[in-house]
């Protein structure tokens, strides 16, 4: 049997096991335990430009289990959370496109792993979390940008490309403290400096320190964040550094609300130190339109731009252009309550800053199943 067919067979068997697990939890502990199973299948076609024309598919499955300690009859304010991930397929950015920002935010090769496993305790307006935790589930989150498939609309590449960070699909150990009172909220976090190893070595791998605070309301949000990675850093020109630092700001604003139709505009902007990184600045912006067509209240349409600016030292050493820019247009169609189909078109200018690589024209089709 072909290797890919064997992998797919194992994947389907594990998905069935996930469904059986979900049913068991629902029957036995429904008041205390919630279980969510999600599956995404994606086909990618690089029509022209990039590294080469071609197609591939990949998929990802998630199993989320959350336990409420109060409902379990233990103590108030506690949440225990587990998330397992199962990925299959190749990476179209590495094989076909050659982009730095990564056109698909679920492509990761073949992996079966525990992504998150943490405990959080809330007392009043404060919360403390300890365990394996995805940084991007709390920090640098732009809700309306979550519609898009390009990775930069999840978290800016001035973090994801420059430093090891606790991100999907392999989170690292963390301690996160949060505060939320009315319209104001803030978080500070200390994360493993290299989640790939799952070993806490502050003296070698360093730590990822991050803080974010801001204002949010029904009509929008404005947040400011800062981060510092304390691990040893080698710059593009070979010089060594003892740390890395950056800042970011994110904003959302509801520009139109008419019945089910809601138009939201968003902005992301980030900076990183220019003497030691590949990407020194990032700018992302776009629009998210809910209910774009009559009778399609659960659909969404989006148009957005992500520009990753390469640092002068990276351009000098590698001969790169000033920036890579990805333009994405997408439509999320709700076929049923549990099935979504989402086509996406991306035009990627100057992939990875290489002037010899022509602009890539990429089409993606994602099928998402959310099992109720």
pTM exceeds 0.85 for this model: yes
What are the φ/ψ torsions at residue 226 (nearest 5 degrees)?
A: -140, 145
Which domains does the chain carry?
Answer: 3-371 (2.40.160.180)
pLDDT score at 109: 86
What secondary structure letter does DSSP report for 124?
T
Q: Which single residue is written with the structure tokens 């600045």?
A: 281
Q: What is the C-alpha to C-alpha distance for residues 109 and 251, in angstroms, rounded to an integer? A: 32
Tokens of 109: 């090769």
Tokens of 176: 């996160």
Task: State which H helix or E strand residue 327 sits in.
Answer: strand 323-334
| In contact, 349 and 321? CB cutoff 8 Å | no
Mean pLDDT for each 10-residue chunk of the chain (372 residues)?
49 51 46 92 97 96 96 96 95 96 94 96 97 98 98 98 96 97 96 94 94 95 98 96 98 96 98 98 98 96 98 97 98 96 98 96 97 76
| In contact, 103 and 56? CB cutoff 8 Å | no
Collapsed DSSP state (helix, strand, coil) of residue 65: strand
What secondary structure letter does DSSP report for 177?
E
pLDDT score at 26: 42
Indicate the pairing of strand 111-123 with strand 279-290.
Answer: unpaired
Q: What is the C-alpha to C-alpha distance for residues 151 and 167, in angstroms, rounded to an integer? A: 11
The string of DSSP codes covering 246-276 is: EEEEEEEEEEEEETTEEEEEEEEEEEE-TTT
Radius of gyration of the chain measured on its C-alpha atoms: 21
pLDDT score at 13: 53
| In contact, 353 and 320? CB cutoff 8 Å | yes
Q: What is the C-alpha to C-alpha distance for residues 281 and 222, in angstroms, rounded to an integer? A: 19
Indicate the pairing of strand 33-48 with strand 360-371.
Answer: antiparallel
pLDDT score at 6: 55
């Amino acid at each position: 049997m072909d290797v890919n067919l064997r992998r797919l067979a194992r994947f389907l068997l594990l998905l069935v096991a996930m469904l059986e697990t979900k049913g068991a939890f629902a029957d036995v502990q429904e008041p205390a335990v919630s279980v969510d199973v999600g599956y995404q299948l994606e086909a990618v076609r690089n029509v022209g430009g990039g590294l080469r024309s071609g197609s591939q598919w990949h998929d990802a499955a998630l199993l989320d289990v959350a336990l409420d300690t109060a409902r379990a009859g233990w103590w108030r304010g506690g949440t225990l959370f587990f998330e397992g991930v199962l990925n299959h397929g190749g990476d179209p950015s590495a094989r076909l496109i050659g982009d730095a920002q990564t056109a698909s935010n679920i492509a990761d090769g073949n992996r079966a792993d525990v992504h998150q496993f943490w405990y959080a305790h809330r007392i009043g307006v404060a919360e403390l979390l300890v365990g394996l935790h995805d940084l991007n589930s709390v920090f640098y989150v732009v809700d309306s940008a979550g519609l898009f498939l390009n990775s930069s609309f999840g978290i800016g590449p001035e973090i994801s490309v420059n430093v090891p960070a606790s991100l999907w699909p392999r989170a690292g150990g963390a301690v996160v403290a949060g505060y939320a009172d009315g319209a104001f909220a803030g978080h500070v976090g200390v994360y493993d400096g290299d989640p790939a190893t799952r070993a806490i070595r502050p003296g070698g791998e360093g730590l990822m320190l991050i803080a974010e605070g801001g204002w949010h309301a029904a009509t929008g949000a404005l947040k400011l964040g800062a981060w510092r990675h304390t691990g040893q850093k080698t710059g593009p020109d070979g010089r060594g550094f003892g740390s890395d630092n950056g800042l970011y700001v994110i904003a959302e604003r509801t520009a139109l609300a008419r019945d089910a139709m809601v138009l939201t505009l968003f902005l992301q902007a980030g900076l990183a130190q220019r003497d030691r990184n590949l990407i020194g600045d990032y700018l992302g912006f776009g629009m998210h339109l809910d209910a774009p067509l009559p009778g399609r209240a659960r659909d969404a349409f989006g148009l957005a731009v992500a520009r990753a600016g390469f640092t002068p030292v990276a351009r000098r050493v590698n001969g790169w252009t000033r920036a890579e820019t990805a333009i994405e247009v997408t439509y999320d169609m709700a076929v049923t309550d549990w099935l979504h189909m989402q086509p996406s078109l991306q035009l990627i200018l100057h992939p990875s800053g290489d002037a010899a690589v022509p602009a890539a024209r990429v089409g993606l089709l994602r099928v998402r199943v959310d099992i109720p």
